[in-house]
Amino acid sequence: SSGINAEWPLRPGKMVQRCCEMVPEIEDKERKMDLIEVLRTVTEGKIYVENERARVTRTLAAIYEKDDVPEKAAKVLQELQVETFGTMEKKEKVEFILEQMRLCFETKDYIRTQIISKKISIKYFEGADTEELKLRYYRQMIDLNLHHKEYLAVSKNYHEIYNTTSVKEEEQKWKQALQRVVLYLILAEYNNEQSDMLARIKTDTNLAKLPYYQNVLMCFDTAELLNWSILKKVYSQHLKSETGEPASPLDKEENWDVLQMRVVEHNIRVLAKYYTRISMQHFADLLHLDSKEAEKRLCEQVVKDTVTAKIDRLDGIISFTKQKDTEQILNAWSGNLNSVMDLIGNVNHLITKERMVHQVS
């Protein structure tokens, strides 16, 4: 009796393992489904067979997907919280989570896809033999971020792919990845993070092998006004994908509209840098927009705190002078007062010196 009790926790585990091994061998679909459901029922809530339950559930999800019911496949796979499994290898956990992400994305459950993606620590991809999973993860993140039109995140995802050893070893692959890094970076909204990444990417020596991409990137890094018509004419053919390449974001006309908006935003920042006051008509002419559209774009940048500006509608004047708060005014006044007192002291010293010299002479 004591011997049986000692082996009891292992016996059902071994039985479940043996049954799980039999699942792929069964050709009849109904029998396979029945066995999977029995195994899922038996293993529910039992920690010592959690790996086996996860594997048969994944098999069930594959069957549902093959039957063209991905919603069911996503639902059964979401039941598994594999990140909490203590006995499952890290690699297998990541594979399960990636599969959960893929099914959720295919069923258009984008919020859940985003939540599930947080379960994978990107530090895992720094280890050996993780490149295949790393590429799968970032390609899925690219699809998700493109859906949300988060172009800066897409650029970062492509940059991670670009920095992968297997991609770096093949010129065609790293060129395609670096091209996407540049294109999505210039499509991204301007902020400190985007500006910092642009500064880092432009120092990449491989960028010199992609002259058109290097030039268009430098356009957005230079404090000079850009002419949209000329820019589109020069780069419209060279920034699109060639035959056999993955689709470029600029293959879509809607992304050219986004790029045009980024050019306008860049020009507004340049004008804010060089002007303190400018008429609305001149401002609109420099942006190649009508006054109403120019005012709308300027207001958007003010709301995003990219530039500081005020519009005097009566006089039609835009002021880019940043308003100082009370503390800054007092500090400036105190600094000016100290400078004046120092000048008075120096003048007094020089007058006294002149008097003494005059008396001696």
Rounded mean pLDDT of 211-230? 92
**DSSP-assigned letters across all residues of 173-239:** HHHHHHHHHHHHHHHSPPSHHHHHHHHHHTT-GGGGGSHHHHHHHHHTTSSS---HHHHHHHHTTTT
The predicted pLDDT at position 242 comes to 58
pLDDT top residue among 260 and 25: 260
The 3-state secondary structure of 309-357 reads CEEECCCCEEECCCCCCHHHHHHHHHHHHHHHHHHHHHHHHHHHHHHHH
Residue 136 and residue 170 in contact, taking contact as beta carbons nearer than 8 Å: no
Name residue 284's amino acid: A
Look at residue 69 and give its three-state secondary structure. Answer: coil
Rounded to the nearest integer, the mean pLDDT of the chain is 87
Return the bridge partners of 319, or none: 277, 310
Rounded mean pLDDT of 199-203? 93
* CA-to-CA dists, residue 260 to 47, 126, 285, 301, angstroms: 56, 38, 16, 15
pLDDT at position 136 over 50 = yes
What residue ranges in the chain does DSSP mark as E strands? 277-279, 310-312, 317-319
Look at residue 155 and give its three-state secondary structure. Answer: helix
Look at residue 319 and give its three-state secondary structure. Answer: strand
Per-residue pLDDT of 288-318, as tens digits, reads: 999 999 999 999 999 998 898 999 988 889 9
CA distance 306 to 191: 8
pLDDT at position 219 over 80 = yes
CA distance 90 to 83: 9
Look at residue 325 and give its three-state secondary structure. Answer: coil
Which residue matches tokens 């099914």?
A: 103
Residue 201 and residue 217 in contact, taking contact as beta carbons nearer than 8 Å: yes
CA distance 73 to 95: 15
Query: In this structure, what are the phi and psi dihedrals at residue 270, rounded to the nearest 5 degrees?
Result: -65, -45
CA distance 244 to 235: 20
Per-residue pLDDT of 30-85, as tens digits, reads: 888 888 888 888 888 888 888 888 888 888 888 888 888 889 888 988 888 888 88
Instruction: Write the CB contacts of 265 (distance below 8 Å, at least 6 apart in sequence).
Output: 189, 190, 297, 301, 306
Look at residue 246 and give its three-state secondary structure. Answer: coil
Residue 275 and residue 229 in contact, taking contact as beta carbons nearer than 8 Å: no
Rounded mean pLDDT of 176-180? 92
Rounded mean pLDDT of 178-206? 93
CA distance 345 to 306: 43
